[in-house]
């Protein structure tokens, strides 16, 4: 058996520093514990720094308070990642997982939830932290040590349970995080993280929700074999790639597929169009997936089509487009897919969300989430219509509701007529004035001969973040500008600021789209900028 020495010596490096809101979250957690709560769910969306926060509270508990702590991860493959993260805090850890040498003297044990049921009885922790709590707390071992609140009998456990998750939702009607946890504390929601500059802005393009009548539901989500019949067609795959070429060409991209066959079909269609692409899936060897992820990070591959393969081991902030080609009833899955494109990277100002599956219409924009609520499950009676939560007032309404009593409007379903129609831009209500401001300033810059960067700088002064690249599309065409007049405008700007043809080509791609520029257009720009 392969064995690994999992202990890490105390590091002399300075521990990571918490952001202000992370420190506030930390203090709120400890206040909840002092108030007597022993089951606390911590929600930290993508970009909130859940890893650093987790390392800090583990350090506080084990090093400062000398408490025995068990950190539970979802799968064995996450053990090494967790150890690496904790090493930044100088933490010495044991491991309870197959293939690792035990260190029973360590007061911190990192364990896979699969292994704990077989050989975790020797460790008696004071604190148990469940990473990815929306998954780990619903396993058989976790339900044994932490039964549902309504199922508890006898003496109350002395263990403090802390759940960490970015997506506090379950699909099953009889399973809600409020069944297991007493209170919820939260880092800032995605909209706030975007405004703080910790995430890039998603820019949404979408279609009408697909016709899924007759598609069965299994364990709360659409049945994969039924979905494949609807989604894995030549027409749909070709349309998805066409829209990528029109809206996102050149961007590093993740396409979320229904099945392994669907992922391969998407990757093949991209390769047939001359775009380097690969498919990944959950049964693929970890090393093979890791090699593909490395190629995506370097740009050797531009598109990765994934079937249930990005839950572990994936870290590629350079991704700036996600293709939602898989219909789902899971809000958590929707958030996780969009979140794959929102992390910060050099020269990255937005992420395109190309929604072929009507998920934005089903769940709303992620920026609409104003707060997280801890709810207990409520068994639906037979025949009851599905429901959803209003992101503004949190009222529970039928899923068919288009306008809430509070005035919130969900995305209309009739933005297109079929999966092969052109996607249309979708804007959250709060983004409309920002979008209009930026477009007006771009048009003003064009008329006055100012650089497009002037408009972007004014936007940044007003909202403290750079505007999305995608909001540039057809801003000048909207007021009658054409390709020739725009290139002459760029030449005037470029001569004053020492810009070359590559800069002008980039500006033209932002305005007109890569697919609109012919070889003759590119030659015209290069010839003009040589003079």
According to DSSP, the β-strands at 321-324 and 350-355 are parallel
| Total count of residues recorded for the chain | 531
Q: Are 478 and 517 in contact (CB under 8 A)?
A: no
Query: Residue 30 contacts by C-beta under 8 Å, 6 or more apart in sequence?
Result: none
How far, in Å, CA of 225 to CA of 232, rounded? 10
Closest CA to 338 of 272, 265, 263, 256: 256
What is the 3 state secondary structure string of 255-297?
EECCCHHHHHHHHHHHHHCCCCEEEEECCCCHHHHHHHHHHHH
Q: What was the pLDDT predicted at 474?
A: 93
Q: What is the DSSP string of 160-194?
A: EEEEEES----SSTT--GGGT-SEEEEPPPHHHHH
- Per-residue tens of pLDDT for the chain, all 531 residues: 334 444 343 444 567 899 999 999 999 999 999 999 999 999 999 999 999 999 999 999 999 999 999 999 988 878 988 999 999 999 999 999 988 999 999 999 999 998 898 887 889 999 999 999 999 999 999 999 998 887 765 456 789 999 999 999 988 878 899 999 999 999 999 999 999 999 999 999 998 667 788 899 998 899 999 999 989 999 999 999 999 999 999 999 999 999 999 999 999 999 999 999 999 998 888 889 889 999 999 999 999 999 988 755 577 999 999 999 999 999 999 999 999 999 999 989 999 999 999 999 889 999 989 999 998 876 433 334 455 666 666 666 665 566 776 666 665 544 433 455 678 889 998 899 999 999 999 999 999 999 999 999 999 999 999 999 999 999 999 999 999 999 999 999 999 999 999 999 999 999 999 888 999 999 999 999 986
Phi, psi of 42 (to 5 degrees): -105, 120
Q: What was the pLDDT predicted at 466?
A: 92
Distances (CA, A) of 349 to 59, 345, 473: 34, 8, 14
| 90: exposed, middle or buried (Cβ count in 10 Å: 0-12, 13-18, 19+) | middle
- List the 94-96 sheet strands across, edge first: 94-96, 108-112, 69-73, 127-130, 160-165, 39-43, 183-186
Q: What was the pLDDT predicted at 421?
A: 66
The pair of three-digit structure tokens given for residue 47, joined into one six-digit string: 């970009």
Q: What was the pLDDT predicted at 383?
A: 37
The pair of three-digit structure tokens given for residue 227, joined into one six-digit string: 């979905």
Dump pLDDT digits (tens) for 7-54.
343 444 567 899 999 999 999 999 999 999 999 999 999 999 999 999
How far, in Å, CA of 23 to CA of 425, rounded? 37
Q: Are 327 and 358 in contact (CB under 8 A)?
A: yes
SS3 68: coil
How far, in Å, CA of 89 to CA of 85, rounded? 8
Closest CA to 303 of 333, 273, 332: 273
Q: What was the pLDDT predicted at 160?
A: 96
Closest CA to 129 of 80, 187, 70: 70
Q: What was the pLDDT predicted at 395?
A: 65
How far, in Å, CA of 427 to CA of 233, rounded? 29
How far, in Å, CA of 293 to CA of 298, rounded? 9
Q: What was the pLDDT predicted at 385?
A: 45
The pair of three-digit structure tokens given for residue 243, joined into one six-digit string: 């829209």
């Amino acid at each position: 058996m392969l064995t690994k020495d999992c202990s890490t010596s105390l590091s002399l490096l300075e521990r990571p520093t918490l952001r202000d809101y992370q420190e506030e979250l930390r203090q709120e957690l400890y206040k909840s514990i002092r108030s007597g709560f022993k089951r606390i769910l911590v929600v930290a969306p993508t970009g909130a720094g859940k890893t650093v926060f987790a390392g800090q509270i583990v350090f506080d508990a084990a090093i400062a308070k000398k408490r025995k702590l068990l950190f539970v991860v979802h799968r064995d493959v996450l053990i090494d990642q967790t150890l690496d993260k904790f090493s930044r805090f100088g933490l010495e850890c044991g491991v309870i997982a197959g293939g690792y040498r035990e260190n029973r003297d360590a007061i911190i044990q990192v364990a896979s939830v699969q292994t704990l049921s077989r050989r975790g009885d020797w460790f008696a922790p004071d604190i148990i932290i469940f990473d990815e709590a929306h998954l780990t707390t619903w396993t058989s071992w976790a339900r044994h040590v932490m039964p549902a609140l309504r199922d508890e009998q006898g003496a109350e456990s002395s263990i403090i349970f802390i759940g960490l998750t970015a997506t506090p939702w379950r699909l099953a009607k009889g399973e809600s995080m409020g069944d297991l946890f007493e209170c919820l504390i939260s880092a800032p929601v995605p909209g706030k993280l975007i405004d703080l500059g910790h995430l890039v802005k998603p820019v949404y393009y979408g279609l009408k929700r697909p016709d899924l009548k007759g598609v069965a539901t299994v364990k709360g989500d659409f049945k994969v074999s039924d979905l494949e019949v609807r989604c894995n067609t030549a027409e749909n795959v070709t349309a998805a790639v066409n829209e990528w070429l029109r809206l996102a060409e050149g961007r590093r991209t993740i396409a979320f597929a229904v099945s392994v066959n669907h992922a391969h079909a998407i990757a093949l269609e991209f390769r047939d169009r001359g775009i380097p692409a690969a498919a990944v899936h959950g049964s693929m060897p970890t090393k093979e997936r890791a090699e593909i992820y490395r190629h995506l990070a370097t740009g050797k591959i531009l598109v990765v089509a994934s079937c249930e393969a990005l839950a572990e081991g994936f870290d590629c902030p350079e991704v700036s487009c996600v293709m939602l080609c898989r219909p789902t009833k899971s809000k958590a899955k929707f958030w996780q897919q969009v979140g794959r494109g929102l992390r910060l990277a050099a020269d990255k100002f937005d992420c395109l969300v190309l929604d072929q599956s009507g998920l934005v219409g089903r769940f709303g924009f992620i920026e609409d989430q104003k707060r997280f609520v801890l709810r207990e499950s409520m068994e639906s009676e037979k025949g009851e219509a599905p429901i959803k939560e209003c992101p503004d007032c949190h009222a529970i309404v039928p899923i068919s509701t288009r306008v809430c009593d509070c005035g919130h409007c969900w995305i209309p379903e009739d933005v297109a007529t079929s999966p092969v129609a052109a996607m249309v831009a979708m804007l959250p209500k709060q983004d409309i004035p920002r979008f209009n401001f930026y477009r007006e300033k771009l048009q003003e810059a064009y008329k006055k001969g100012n650089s497009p960067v002037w408009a972007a700088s004014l936007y940044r002064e007003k909202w403290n973040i750079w505007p999305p690249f995608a909001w540039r599309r057809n801003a000048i065409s909207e007021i009658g500008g054409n390709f020739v007049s725009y290139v002459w405008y760029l030449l005037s700007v470029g001569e004053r600021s020492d810009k070359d043809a590559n800069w002008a080509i980039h500006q033209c791609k932002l305005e007109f789209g890569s697919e609109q520029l012919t070889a003759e257009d590119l030659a015209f720009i290069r010839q003009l900028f040589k003079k």
